[in-house]
Amino acid sequence: MDETFTRINEGVQLHHQQGRREAARDLFAQLWAEIGGERGDPLHVCVLAHSMADVQDDVHEELRWDQRALAAADLLTDDRVAQAGVPMSVAALYPSLHLNLGECYRRLGDLDRARECLRQARAGIGALGDDAYGELIRGGLDTLAQQLG
């Protein structure tokens, strides 16, 4: 795992294990500057933006970070993902990215866009493994579907 991923993971731990959202956000902002923002390595941009979205207090900001993550995923190749030691295909990233976007749109009251994101996430669900990550994403999609009626 490269240094950038190690540091992103530190931020994720700060947020999820220690409940230190602001510290995680500060670390992610520092990393964002270091990688060159949206001009950085698309894999770093995708993972960092995806993580940064989770530590936002404002749903509009969360949506902007989720959109950055999705745009970066569109630039990724399976070779780059494998080179980084990420044990999944690029296609397996999309259900989670669309789920997060759908959840933002739902919270903003844009239910049509939320449903479209849910549809896109479900269209790519076959790329998910039969593992804890796949179960987490499938469960999130089921919850979003219930919330959207």
pTM of the model: 0.93
Q: Are 11 and 27 a contacting pair, CB within 8 Å? A: yes
Please write the tens of the pLDDT for every residue from 10-23: 999 999 999 999 99
Residue 87's pLDDT band (boundaries 50, 70, 90)?
Answer: confident
Contacts for 13-21 with beta carbons within 8 Å, 24 or more apart?
Answer: 15/51, 15/54, 15/55, 21/55, 21/57
pLDDT in tens, 90-104: 999 999 999 999 999
Nearest to 95 by CA among 55, 145, 58, 31: 145
